[in-house]
Amino acid sequence: MKTDTIPRGEKYRNLGIKLTPQRIAILDYLEGNLSHPSAEDVYKAVLRKYPTMSFATVYNTLETLKQNGMVAELTADPGKKRFDPNPRPHHHLICTRCRRIVDVQVEFRLPVADRDRAGFEITGNHIEFFGTCPDCKKRTYGSSLQQAAGYLRSSG
């Protein structure tokens, strides 16, 4: 019964999820992708090859991939979800002007003493470095007095 595997999507065979052409297109788009696309980014990119693709399928698939640890969901962009296909543990540089997100592949030691844990069981961490990306530095529009954790009306 394990014969004649269809070539389409064979490289995703052992992911433990049912492979549809739509899912393969999404996986192809995400593979090695170091951007941090929103659901709409994924939708637009995949739509080119799959004109019948629907938003629901994008959301369904991203949710499935998340359940299987193949993408992480980021909250760095207020008002919309962003997805991270980089499976290596890492942190993020976030441009407070255009909300561009870039990976920071640096490890930090972040010990939290029991008395500072408030009884939490800590399972992971993630650092957001806020600042201005090279492109936005050039443009120099508006002022740069964004709060570290503040909100920026996303310009896109």
Partner DNA sequence: GTGATTGCAAACTGTTTGCATTTTG
Partner DNA sequence: CAAAATGCAAACAGTTTGCAATCAC
Given the rule CB under 8 A, which residues bind a second copy? 66, 69, 72-78, 81, 84, 89, 93, 95-96, 102, 104-106, 108, 110, 112-113, 116-134, 137, 144, 146-151
Cα–Cα distance, 126 to 128 (Å, whole number)? 7
Contact string 18-37 vs DNA (x = CB under 7 A) = xxxxxx--------------
Among 30, 57, 65, 96, binds DNA (CB under 7 A): 57
Distances (CA, A) of 7 to 10, 21, 65, 76: 5, 12, 21, 37
| Cα three-residue angle 17-86-107, rounded to 5 degrees | 135
Distances (CA, A) of 14 to 18, 58, 126, 134: 10, 21, 29, 40
For a second copy, give the closer residue by CB, 14 or 123. Answer: 123
Q: Which does residue 140 touch among DNA, a second copy, none (CB within 5 to 8 A, set by kind)?
A: none
Cα–Cα distance, 36 to 42 (Å, whole number)? 10
User: Cβ 17 to a second copy, closest distance in Å?
Assistant: 16
User: Cβ 72 to DNA, closest distance in Å?
Assistant: 14
